[in-house]
Amino acid sequence: MSERAARKKRASFETHCFPMGWTLLPKLVFAYIWRIVLLGYQNQLELSSLNLLAKDLKASTVSAAFREATTKKQIFRKHVDEDEAVVYTFDQKRRPLSALLFEVCHWEVFASAMIQSFWVLNNFLPPLMLGYLLVYIETKQDGWHGYAYATAYAFSQLVGGFLNAHATYIMALGAFKAQSALTCALYKKVLRISSSSRHQYTSGEIVNLMSVDVEQVGQFLLICHNCWDVPLRIVLTLVFLWQYLGASCLATVATMLASSLTTTLVAHFCDKYQKRQMDSKDARLRQTNEMLNGIKVIKLNAWEPPFIERVKRTRSEELSFVKKYSLLQSTFTFVWAATPNAAALASFGIFVMLSEDNQLTPSIAFT
């Protein structure tokens, strides 16, 4: 069978990322990807081995949806021109980019948000079941209680893994759509602008827009649900902690506030140095293009050393910003990772010191 015939055969069951024709269980465990993983392990993975891209994920479909969103808000106006003739025009209302991208991937945003909300609620079941299991061990309850708690603990962990994987997967599809729409829009804009306007931007700046900036939009979409699920998790965590630790849980609030202020400050400087690094990168690419365009004149006059030194100086400046950004990013990661341990240490320490009657039992500590 030829490659073209094989691809047509695979297209018969519409190879979407959730392929039609698959039952619920294979979709749940991403069974349709196992064949590709096995072929890759056997070093037999080729382009013809991959599933066809779904129609709703193709660049043409996504670009058409984005273009439709840009022309959606139009106002019908009636006015009289200089010749006293009645003219009907459409005035397009300018919309923010976020609203346009939401039109493209709104289904993925809503679906992943719903799954993410269930995942947040499910995250509190394993600690509760673990606490009940520790109490069962301490109090010697009936045997079936222990089996029930252990089964509920394992099942909640399994469900949480599935929910998190599918929420991330669906949001990744939305990010993929947004990046495709932006890249197509940038290509069309570059091809339509006039020559005078095109000279205002170097090829390096355009490449940065299509790669770095578009990638940042996709990365933001992957974590956009943290804007609401992190506060929800904090509130629910404090509610549960108050039941076990009482007022001592306020130490957790203080620790998290201090951590938030620190990470916000560090993130501000990270953004600052990243912008400077991108400016230096654009300048370096601009200088390199100028040098390559005038290479004949540079060679004729033996001007290579000063031009090379100029590019090296710009590159050194860019690397200095990369170094500062990396150090701040490491600090951000360290503070973010150390916050849970610091909050637990502060809460448990104050809980024990407030009263001699407060005993830090395993059920309290691990719940």
Residue 103, domain member (yes or no): yes
Does 199 share its domain with 114?
yes
Does 291 share its domain with 324?
yes
pLDDT digits (tens, 9 = 90+) for 272-313: 998 898 888 888 888 888 888 888 888 888 888 888 899 899
Rounded Cα gap, residues 214 and 328, in angstroms: 23
Q: Which of 9-18, 268-277, 309-318 has the lowest mean pLDDT?
A: 9-18
Look at residue 257 and give its three-state secondary structure: helix
Does 24 share its domain with 107?
no
pLDDT digits (tens, 9 = 90+) for 40-79: 888 777 777 777 777 888 888 888 888 888 876 555 555 5
**Which one is predicted more confidently, 74 or 240?**
240
Does 62 share its domain with 39?
no
Does 76 share its domain with 193?
yes
Does 42 share its domain with 61?
no
Does 348 share its domain with 268?
yes
Res 253 pLDDT > 80: yes
pLDDT band at 3 (very low <50, low <70, confident <90, very high): low
CA proximity to 220, closest of 258, 271, 283: 271
Would you state the structure tokens that stand for residue 256, as one six-digit string?
Answer: 């998290």
pLDDT at 204: 67
pLDDT at 257: 87
pLDDT at 34: 81
- Does residue 250 come out as left (phi exceeding 0), alpha (psi in the -120 to 50 range) or beta? alpha
Rounded Cα gap, residues 342 and 349, in angstroms: 10
Does 37 share its domain with 73?
no
Residue 238, domain member (yes or no): no
Residue 281, domain member (yes or no): yes
pLDDT at 5: 54
- Which residues neighbour 62 within 8 Å (Cβ) at sequence distance 6 or greater? 56, 104, 177, 180, 181, 184
Does 183 share its domain with 280?
no
Alpha-carbon distance values, 222 to 18, 56, 63, 169, 183 (Å): 19, 19, 20, 9, 18
pLDDT at 279: 86
Residue 230, domain member (yes or no): no
Q: For residue 141, which phi and psi values (nearest 5 degrees)?
A: -75, -175
Look at residue 341 and give its three-state secondary structure: helix
Tell me how far apart the 2 most distant CA atoms of the chain are, in Å: 96
- What letter would DSSP give residue 284? H
Rounded Cα gap, residues 227 and 317, in angstroms: 34
Res 364 pLDDT > 50: yes
pTM of the predicted model as reported, rounded to 2 decimal places: 0.71
The mean of the pLDDT values for the chain is: 81
Residue 240, domain member (yes or no): no
Residue 237, domain member (yes or no): no
Residue 316, domain member (yes or no): yes
pLDDT at 78: 54
pLDDT at 77: 56
Burial of residue 164, with CB atoms counted within 10 A of its CB: 0-12 exposed, 13-18 middle, 19 or more buried:
middle
Does 70 share its domain with 10?
no
pLDDT at 81: 52
pLDDT digits (tens, 9 = 90+) for 149-201: 889 999 999 999 999 999 999 999 999 999 999 888 888 888 887 777 777 77
Does 25 share its domain with 75?
no
Q: Report, as an integer, the average pLDDT of 311-329.
A: 91
Rounded Cα gap, residues 55 and 62, in angstroms: 9
Domain region containing 206: 57-224
pLDDT at 35: 79
Does 78 share its domain with 207?
yes
Q: Report, as an integer, the average pLDDT of 240-250.
A: 82
Residue 239, domain member (yes or no): no
Q: Report, as an integer, the average pLDDT of 302-325.
A: 89
Rounded Cα gap, residues 207 and 219, in angstroms: 18
pLDDT at 112: 93
Res 114 pLDDT > 90: yes
Number of domains in the chain: 3
pLDDT band at 218 (very low <50, low <70, confident <90, very high): confident
